[in-house]
C-alpha cells in the first residue's frame, strides 16, 4: 500500500480494523475510516496517528445513499485524494433457511448490498475526478464477499445471497469504470477464526469444513485484500479472489 491513501468502510472493528493496521504497516500514506461507530473508528486510527499519518473518520449508516456520499466527501475533504476503497462492513445474522424474516432480509440487504453499492458510487464519483497515476490507475475498490456466495449455506442463506449479489455488483462496476482506470475487485474468504467465531463456537465447524483443518486467520485474508487494492495490482479488474483454504472444492 506504499504511498496510497486508503479508506476502509467498517474499519472500526474486526477485519476492518486489522486492515487499517496492516495498511499502515504496508506504507499507506493516509488512512480514513467510515463506520457506524465513530468512537471505534477513532480508536482504530491510533496506529496511523502514532506514525504521524493524516487520518479522518466519519460516522455513517451505509444503508442511506446521501449519508454515504456526505461521509466520503468529508473524509476526502480532510485527507484529500482517496486511492483505495475497501468495503468491509457487513452483518452475518445466522438463521435457518425456513425461518428468515423480512426484518432479517431487509437488514442483510440494506447493509451488505445497498451499503456496498452506495460506497462504490461515492468512490467512483471521487476517483473519476483524478488524473491517472504513472500506472494508469485512478483508483482501486475492493469488496469483501464470501465463499458462501458459491456454496450452499442453508444456515445463512440470506447472507450468502447478499454476498453473491456483491460479486455481481463488483463485475458490473468494474466493467462500467474500466475506461476510467478504476479497478474493482472482490475477495471471498471462507470462515475466519475471529473473536466472534470463537465466542459463538464456530471454530470447530470451520476446522471441519476446511481441508487445511482450520479457519483462516484474519491476517491471511487481509493480505489478499491489500494486494488486490495495492499498487502491484495494475491490471486485474472484475475478478473475485477466493481465499478459502480449499473449502470451495471440498
Three cell numbers, residue 241: 479472489
- Domain-located, residue 229: yes
Residue 122's domain comprises: 5-243
Is 20 a residue whose pLDDT tops 80? yes
- pLDDT tens digits for 196-242? 777 777 778 878 888 999 889 999 999 999 999 999 999 999 999 99
- Domain-located, residue 248: no
User: How much is the mean pLDDT over the chain?
Assistant: 95
List active site positions: 159
Kindly state the percentage of the chain with pLDDT values over 70.
100
- Domain-located, residue 88: yes
* Structural domains in the chain (count): 1
- Domain-located, residue 249: no
Write down the pLDDT at residue 204.
83
Write down the pLDDT at residue 133.
87
DSSP string, the chain: -TT-EEEEETTTSHHHHHHHHHHHHTT-SEEEEEES-HHHHHHHTHHHHHTT--EEEEE--TTSHHHHHHHHHHHHHHH----EEEE---------GGG--HHHHHHHIIIIIIIHHHHHHHHHHHHTTSPP-TTS-SEEEEEE--GGGTS--TTSHHHHHHHHHHHHHHHHHHHHHGGGTEEEEEEEE--B--HHHHHHT-HHHHHHH-TTSSPBPHHHHHHHHHHHTSTT-SS--S-EEEE-TTTTT-
Three cell numbers, residue 42: 477513532
For residue 93, what pLDDT band results from cuts at 50, 70 and 90? confident
Query: What would the mean pLDDT of 33-57 be, rounded to a whole number?
Result: 97
- Domain-located, residue 117: yes
Rounded Cα distance, 189 and 77, in Å: 33
Write down the pLDDT at residue 75.
98
- pLDDT tens digits for 110-161? 999 999 999 999 999 999 999 998 899 999 999 999 999 999 989 899 999 9
Rounded Cα distance, 168 and 188, in Å: 13
- Domain-located, residue 76: yes
For residue 189, what pLDDT band results from cuts at 50, 70 and 90? very high
For residue 106, what pLDDT band results from cuts at 50, 70 and 90? very high
| Overall pTM > 0.75 | yes
Write down the pLDDT at residue 172.
98
Write down the pLDDT at residue 208.
85
For residue 243, what pLDDT band results from cuts at 50, 70 and 90? very high
Write down the pLDDT at residue 236.
98
For residue 177, what pLDDT band results from cuts at 50, 70 and 90? very high
Residue 34, domain CATH: 3.40.50.720
- pLDDT tens digits for 46-66? 999 999 999 999 999 999 999
Write down the pLDDT at residue 223.
98
Amino acid at each position: 500500500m506504499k504511498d496510497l491513501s486508503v479508506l476502509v468502510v467498517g474499519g472500526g472493528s474486526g477485519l476492518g480494523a486489522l486492515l487499517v493496521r496492516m495498511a499502515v504497516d504496508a506504507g499507506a500514506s493516509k488512512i480514513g475510516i467510515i463506520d457506524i461507530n465513530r468512537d471505534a473508528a477513532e480508536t482504530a486510527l491510533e496506529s496511523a496517528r502514532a506514525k504521524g499519518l493524516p487520518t479522518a473518520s466519519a460516522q455513517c449508516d451505509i444503508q442511506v445513499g446521501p449519508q454515504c456520499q456526505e461521509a466520503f466527501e468529508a473524509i476526502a475533504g480532510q485527507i484529500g485524494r482517496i486511492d483505495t476503497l475497501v468495503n468491509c462492513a457487513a452483518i452475518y445474522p445466522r438463521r435457518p433457511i425456513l425461518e428468515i424474516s423480512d426484518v432479517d432480509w431487509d437488514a442483510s440487504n440494506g447493509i451488505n448490498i445497498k451499503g456496498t453499492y452506495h460506497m462504490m458510487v461515492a468512490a467512483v464519483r471521487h476517483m473519476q475526478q483524478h488524473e491517472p497515476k504513472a500506472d494508469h490507475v485512478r483508483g482501486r475498490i475492493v469488496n469483501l464477499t464470501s465463499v458462501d456466495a458459491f456454496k450452499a449455506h442453508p444456515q445463512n442463506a440470506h447472507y450468502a445471497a447478499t454476498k453473491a449479489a456483491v460479486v455481481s455488483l463488483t463485475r458490473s462496476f468494474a466493467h462500467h469504470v474500466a475506461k476510467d482506470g478504476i479497478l474493482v475487485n472482490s475477495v471471498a474468504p471462507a470462515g475466519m477464526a475471529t473473536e466472534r467465531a470463537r465466542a459463538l463456537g464456530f471454530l470447530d465447524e470451520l476446522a471441519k469444513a476446511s481441508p487445511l483443518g482450520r479457519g483462516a486467520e484474519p491476517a491471511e485474508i487481509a493480505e489478499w485484500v491489500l494486494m488486490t487494492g495495492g499498487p502491484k495490482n495494475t491490471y486485474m479488474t472484475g475478478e473475485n479472489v477466493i481465499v478459502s483454504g480449499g473449502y470451495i472444492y471440498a
